[in-house]
Structure 1
Amino acid sequence: MSIAHSTWPVVLIPYNLPPWMCMKQPYIMLSMLIPGPSSPETDIDVYLQPLIEELKELWVSGLQTYDASRQETFHMHASLLWTISDFPAYANLSGWSTKGKLACPSCNKDTCSLRLKHGRKFCYMGHQRFLEANHIFRSDKSSFNGTKEKRLAPIPLSRTQQDTGGKKQGKRGKTRVQEESPLEENSSASAAKKKEKPPKEHNWKKKRKTKDSVKARLDLQEMGVRRTLHPVTTIRNKTYLPPACFTMSPKEKEVLCNILKDVKLPDGYSSNISRRVNVRERKISGLKSHDCHVLMQQLLPLAIRSSLPMNVSSVLIELCNFFKELCSKVLNVGDLLKLQDRIALTLFHMEKIFPPAFFDIMVHLPIHLVDEAMLAGPVQYRWMYPIERYLLTLKSYVRNRSRPKGSIAEGYLAEECLTFCSRYLEGVQSKLNRPVRNDEDAHVEMEEGFSIFSLAGRPLGEVKSCPLDQTTIEQAHRYVLFNCPAVIPFIAGIKIDAFGYTVVNMTRHIYKNEPFVFASQAEQVFYVQDHPGNKDWHVVVKTKPRDLYEVHGNNDEGDVQTKAAEIQNLEDVNTCEQIDIVGTEIDEPLEQLTQAIPDDEECDTDSDDSDGDESPFVNDK
């Protein structure tokens, strides 16, 4: 299908289903198709109006429905819990502009935004306000704008404020109230007084994509922070950018790419990420959204351990651990409260490391994810991955590319009919009842007994009983002893690194013939090479089987094994220098780069509501 064509399917997902059935494709209902070839943009509410009316009827009046399991009729009511979309589509659905000063819908009018003079974009920092009122980091002046942070975290809006606070936009990017306002003519007149911008010269030379650009360094100089990173003028009248603490040398990039290139993941865990890594060019490209999910939560912390300084990698690992624990299948309210404090501290340390241009609205939004999890529950029932897989299925229905909407509707109806008929076929294997490729039979209920004999998978082969001789008894005793936490540090070939990861030497075996293992200790793991220079050492990464749901279990999940990085007492990361890395030299002189930007110079697409004469600090409460 053409990239220019855009067809928007609207699906409904019932949530009164078991975890292993919820969000699966047979239980996703395609309610409507918004035709293309262009997206509906802000007029999406017009297309959704029939669906909204039906949902209101289901909530108020209800509908008589037949229950096949009980063979009786009941009165069914339905309520809309939430919508699942990306952040740009959120602006179309809610009417709240996700660009400019007030881009955060949760902070609303208390959004702390800063317009960068040289970058000509908005950044969203000020995460000190989310720390405790008496936190010591609130008094840190040198790392930020030179003032103490006395503001408190923004108070979430009430339902009445949310209903009246949205800004429904029209096709031209203006609110519908503004279209009928008599001030529109004055606004157009003032806009016409602006000087015409000279046409931009096209530079066909490929530029390096980075947030640590010359404009970012000039913004640091404008803010008066991190003086060691300010651009300087060399003897040859060129501009020199000192290397930052997060700058990686070509050798370190090659080490990171080699670690990702040698990764072998379990079957069905993700796509083959190693194919997306180009070690020669030191690039990672072609990743899908779920690949980025696995890369950030599992692989990136392991790769940057040996590529970045300790005080930089620990902050990034803490950010990865935050998303890892937030995406757990089981969430605890007490743990979520601790996560809220940790993410505020993590973002605070990131503000001391990365330039302000790095902090766009997507970096700010994690501060509100914990509140959403406390309201709506586990994340896997609200993320986009099942929807994206379903969109691929709908796209496969297209046979007539000139009529994609009709092809999708016809294919969906055929799939629904086959699914309905397969439920009445007994003894016939279909898409709904066929076993997975690696069936572990994880839902088998075990008999009552000791917890150490709980089964997490299925045994291989026939179970046999045999008497134990003296040697075997000693092996059993040794196995129990070696699995005590106090003895692990003294076992050769096993160590715990500074970040809490378990690293094992694959060439050293305690005993090759070890017949004993507790059933509760059998877990699914895979190994990632620690460092290309230490080929014998591998990091142990624990995972959970794909279809295992511990509904009544605790939060002791295998994929959350590392402890939170202790970043409370980190040294000042601004003084971190990369000794073996040379900075960047630019041919243009510093005076030419620091020329004042005219007041009528507008920002990029996310700053259309900015005023060049006002202070860059939007919120100074």
Structure 2
Amino acid sequence: MPGKAVSDPKLGKKYKYDKDHRPMLTHPSDGEAWKDFDRKYSEKAAEPRNVRVAIATDGFNPFGMTSAPYSCWPVFVIPLNLPPGMIMQRKYMFLALIIPKPEYLGKNINVYMQPLMEDLKRGWEEGIMVYDKATKTNFRMHIWFQFSIHDHPGGSILSSKGLQGKFMCPHCGTDLEFYRLAHDHKYCCFDLHRRFLPPNPPFRQDKKNFRKGVVVEEGPPRYRTGSELLAELDALVQDPTQPDNFLGYGDTHNWTHKSCFWELPYFKGIILPHCIDVMHTEKNVAGALYNTILNIIDKTKDNPKTRKDQEELCDRPQLSIKKVPGRSDIRPKAPFSLDRNQKMEVLLWFKELKFPDGYAANLKRGVNLGTMRINGLKSHDYHIWLERFLPVMVRGYVSEDFLRVLAELRNFFRQLCAKELSPTLLEKMEKQAPVLLCKLERIFPPGMFVTMQHLIIHLPYEARMWGPVQHRWMYAVERLMKTLRAKANNDVSMSSQLRQIANDFDVKVGSFKSYDVNGYRFHTTGYELSRPNRTSTNSRVFVECGGDDFYRRVEEIYELQYRKPKPPKVVVFKCRWIDPKHVNKDDTIGLVEVKRDSVFECEDVYIVAQQATQVYFFPYPCTKVARLQGLDVMYHVQPHGKLPEPNDQDYLPQREPGDKFFQEAGGDTSDFVVRYTDSPGTEVDNDGEGDKVDGDGDDDDEEHANVDSDVESDLDAGLLVDPDDEDYNPHAHT
């Protein structure tokens, strides 16, 4: 039954079904790779107490970025036999190895990993006799490896593949050959994604909007099995002139060495043992778009070199550099980039943005109006920018067709990063990802499309294999490495105790300025107005009533007092609501707009705190479009550290044919749809005559993120503090 939660009697796990009666993916065990392993090794998989682990690693400088070069590689072992909300918690991530190495680790990792490999081989073959406290019996527990977590360079080391040069994709390998740009001097994958399309779409025959005169007939590379990869690796011959290398490296293959993971007897039976890191992929994709749209001089992908490459490869004469005798060359403005006045308007908009505590970093601290850029953006900042701000930031400055392409990219990553995934939706995203990349290729220049942009093709497949990305991306690993770096000065603070309230009901009530409930922190409007320099906002609230959505600020917070041995805590919010008639949901680009000054006149102004869901509003930066004035864009905030709980709407016995299935609870309310005809200012022209497109692109260095609202719950642990108040007490009466 669609939406029905069904319990597994063996594991005590609840399965929630999508509209096509297929179980939702909420855990790695829901993925096809886990189930395939269970079928191949059914005897060991039949014992639910056997432990499956993931191995995570990354290199960092323990002495800081400004000190002498040094590379330290911690290796973590992460048990996967835990509920979704516990897998990536710090207390369940075990430090197995620390590999100190002044220089790049490379293939030497095999030597350092041998103790861990020996333990894994013993755990698989012999097992370990342990005591089960629940049954009060001993049993032999087996342990095995399932997948690795790493960034792109780390994946190159662990998988023993050189992911640079012309074979840069860990999945496509030698079946997809990148080519070097003549002027930008880097390998790119521009116009290599049409081969991933079905046989007959119009993009395959388009000779104008991709590479000039090129028609694509070949099909996509296929995913190879572990046995095929092992056979290819065993067939390689050592280079007699360079004993550490194989003959043909860089020309016919990209194997650098034989990884120690092949020593595990079951390794060749694992589908997808090395996963792409969604955190760094999303950061680099977003960073390239951000720097290009805002035309950051030294980072934009729409630079003179890429314009020259674009002129040679593409039929886009309107964007070619124009030679003027006696003057500097003129580079025409691309339709996807903002001019100086628009950039200033956007930066001033960033300086006014406020978010709930723990949701995002304080971006306005990095805004520099003199250099017209935002400094210090990290991976999570780009995560928030791409999935929340991108279509809002550019709306009114670019064409609606271009806006829809960016909205499709934004929706793609929002659907992919949801905590509950529909297998039907993932299969749909696999088919639509190459269409989305082709539409981006018709807009941006060849220099935009490097490794990270290509990896978008494979992300839905990996989610289908191993479930939600929250159990495979690097946010938790990066934060744990930050803890290791500062271990000597690690301060531990205890959360405050709840105040015992009076027995029995009292006519007096407790009044709060701030309150933590439902995984959120709420502030009253008066409290925030009394602090004009606050860097966050926590006063917006959402509640659904009678089929209508109500949004507004929290005016007051009251706690009713009872006189009982165990007094119940009843907290109510007093709110003034926006008229639901002035709430506009635009499903085509996935935005919810509310009229800022609208007021819903009613007497029912109180809600129980447990009904409240936190949201935040922000205006459009564009001041030129009249219809955008007075409107705020609304986004829901996910509660800290827990999955969205099922509600009555999830258990409806059936859905009407026209209903939409929303992937992220309380989040994006738009279907992920990529249409071939929605390309900004372009048309398919097989004869070489038609319209033009724009250009831009490149990737960025990978940065570490220290904040993530979707993965870890410091709020629930009582460790999240108000950044503006050293004496902040969320339960202090006023």
User: TM-score with structure 1 length normalisation?
Assistant: 0.71
Q: Does 2:244 match 1:176? A: yes
Question: What are the Cα deviations for residues 255-294 of structure 1, in whole angstroms up to 9, with x where unaligned?
Answer: 2223322221112112212222224432122022222212
> Which residue number in structure 1 is paired with residue 227 of structure 2?
160
Answer yes or no: is the 8 Å Cα contact 1:95–1:166 preserved in 2: no
Match of 2:273 in 1: none
Are 1:343 and 2:437 matched, yes or no? Answer: no
Provide the residue aligned with 2:731 in structure 1: none
Aligned partners of 2:183, 2:128: CA distance in 1, in Å? 59
Give the match for residue 329 of structure 2: 239
User: CA contact under 8 A between 2:587 and 2:670: conserved in structure 1?
Assistant: no
Partner of residue 440, structure 1 = 517
SS in 1 for 2:83: coil
Query: Residue 392 of structure 1: CA displacement?
Result: 1.0
Letter of the 1:151 counterpart = E
- For residues 85-234 of structure 1, the aligned pairs below 5 Å read 85-125=150-190, 126-145=192-211, 146-165=213-232, 176-178=244-246, 208-234=298-324
Whether the aligned pair in 2 keeps the contact of 1:221 and 1:230 (CA below 8 Å) is yes
> Matched residue of 2:88: which SS?
coil
Are positions 1:536 and 2:626 aligned together? no
CA separation of 1:11/1:174 partners in 2, compared to 1, >3 Å: closer, same or farther?
farther
**Aligned match of 2:355:** 265
Letter in 2 for 1:148: V
1:19 matched to 2:96? The reply is no
Matching of residue 9 in structure 1 with residue 74 in structure 2? yes
For 2:644 and 2:243, the matched residues in 1 are separated by: 47
1:453-490 per-residue CA deviation (whole Å, 9 max, x = no partner) reads: 9xxxxx963499xxxxxxxxxxxxxx9xx99xxxx6xx
- Taking the TM superposition and a 5 Å limit, the aligned residue runs for 1:409-558 are 439-441=516-518, 461-462=559-560, 491-492=581-582, 494=584, 496=586, 499-511=589-601, 513-515=603-605, 522-531=612-621, 533=623, 536-550=630-644, 555-558=663-666
Task: State how far apart, in whole Å, the 1-side matches of 2:100 and 2:360 are.
Answer: 32
Letter in 1 for 2:127: G
Partner-residue secondary structure (3-state), 1:89: helix
| Residues 1:17 and 1:372: Cα distance change in structure 2 (over 3 Å) | same
8 Å CA contact 2:209, 2:314 repeated in 1: no
Task: State the shift of 1:340 in Å.
Answer: 1.7
Cα deviation digits, residues 294-336 of structure 1 (max 9, x gap): 2211122321223322222221221121111101000010011
Greater strand share, structure number: 2
Partner of 2:120: 55
What is the rounded CA distance, in whole Å, between the counterparts of 2:163 and 2:592 in structure 1? 42
Corresponding position of 2:254: none
Structure 1 unpaired stretches of 5+: 184-205, 400-410, 419-428, 444-449, 454-458, 465-478, 579-621
Q: 1:523 to 1:551 in 2, by over 3 A?
A: closer
- State the partner residue of 1:561: 669
Deviations 1:539-590 (A, max 9, x none): 0111221123147686451122244466432255355799xxxxxxxxxxxx
Aligned-residue CA RMSD (Å):
3.9
| Cα-to-partner distance string for 1:391-443 (whole Å, 9 max, x where unaligned) | 111111247xxxxxxxxxxx9xxx9xx9xxxxxxxxxx9789999x9753569
Quick one: which amino acid aligns to residue 508 of structure 1? S
* Structure 1 contact 245–573 (Cα < 8 Å) conserved: no
Residues 91 and 97 in structure 1, CA contact (< 8 A), matched pair in contact too: yes
Change (3 A) 1:166 1:252: farther
C-alpha contact 2:209 2:692 (8 A) present in aligned 1: no
Judge conservation of contact 1:452–1:518 (CA < 8 Å) in 2: no
Specify the SS of the correspondent of 1:10.
Answer: strand
Q: Which amino acid aligns with 2:639?
A: P
- CA contact 2:351–2:367 (8 Å) conserved in 1: yes
Aligned residues: 495
Amino acid at match of 1:75: R
Matched residue SS, 1:81 = strand
SS at match of 2:348: helix
Distance in 2 separating the partners of 1:180 and 1:576: 41
Tell me how far apart the structure 1 counterparts of residues 584 and 177 of structure 2 sit (CA, whole Å).
47
Amino acid aligned to 2:351? K
Question: Matched residue of 1:82: which SS?
Answer: strand
Alignment partner, residue 442 of structure 2: 352
Matched ranges for 1:58-97 at <5 A: 58-97=123-162
Q: Residues 316, 34 of structure 1: CA spacing in aligned structure 2 closer, same or farther, 3 A cutoff?
A: same
List alignment gaps of at least 5 residues for structure 2. 1-62, 252-295, 500-513, 521-544, 549-556, 563-576, 651-662, 683-690, 695-734
Q: CA deviation at 1:166?
A: 5.5
Q: Is the 8 A contact 1:333 1:374 kept in 2?
A: yes
Distance in 2 (CA, whole Å) between partners of 1:280 and 1:576 is 35
Q: Which residue of 2 aligns with 1:305?
A: 395
* C-alpha distance in structure 2 between counterparts of 1:431 and 1:36, whole Å: 39
Deviations 1:594-617 (A, max 9, x none): xxxxxxxxxxxxxxxxxxxxxxxx
| Alignment-mate amino acid for residue 107 of structure 2 | T
Spell out, residue by residue over 1:164-205, the C-alpha distance to the aligned partner (whole angstroms, 9 max, x if none): 4459999xx978344899x9xxxxxxxxxxxxxxxxxxxxxx
Alpha-carbon separation, structure 1, partners of 2:445 and 2:242:
32
Structure 1 window deviating more from structure 2 (319-328 vs 549-558): it is 549-558
- Residues 500, 294 of structure 1: alpha-carbon distance in 2 compared, 3 angstrom cutoff: closer
Task: Judging by fraction of residues, say which structure has more helix.
Answer: 1
- Over residues 200-236 of structure 1, what are the superposed CA-to-partner deviations in whole Å (9 max), with x where a residue is unaligned? xxxxxx9723211222122122224212222222243
What CA deviation, in whole Å up to 9, does each residue of 1:22-71 have, x standing for no partner? Answer: 21111110001101333322211111111111111111211011233443
Verify the 8 A CA contact 1:259 1:528 in the aligned structure 2. no
Q: CA deviation at 1:523?
A: 2.8
* Deviation sequence 1:496-529 (CA, Å, 0-9, x none): 4862412112212122644477999843211121
Q: C-alpha separation between the residues in 2 aligned to 1:77 and 1:451?
A: 52
Q: What residue identity is the alignment partner of 2:636? A: K
CA distance in 1: counterparts of 2:231 and 2:386, whole angstroms: 38
Alpha-carbon distance in structure 1 between the residues aligned to 2:407 and 2:585: 19
How far apart are the structure 2 equivalents of 1:249 and 1:80? 51
Identical columns (%): 30
CA contact (8 A) 2:188 2:451 kept: yes
- In structure 2, give the amino acid aligned to 1:138: R
Matched AA of 1:71: K
Is the Cα contact below 8 Å between 2:149 and 2:473 reproduced in 1?
A: yes
Distance 1:514 1:16, change over 3 A: same
**Partner SS for 1:531:** coil
CA distance in 1, matches of 2:157, 2:311: 37
1:260–1:303 contact (8 Å) kept in structure 2: no
Structure 2 SS opposite 1:64: strand
Q: CA deviation at 1:493?
A: 6.3
CA contact (8 A) 1:315 1:567 kept: no
Q: Tell me, yes or no, if the aligned pair for 2:346 and 2:393 is still in contact at 8 Å.
A: yes
| Cα distance in 2 between the residues matched to 1:565 and 1:531 | 26
Question: Which of these two proteins has the greater Rg computed from alpha carbons?
Answer: 1
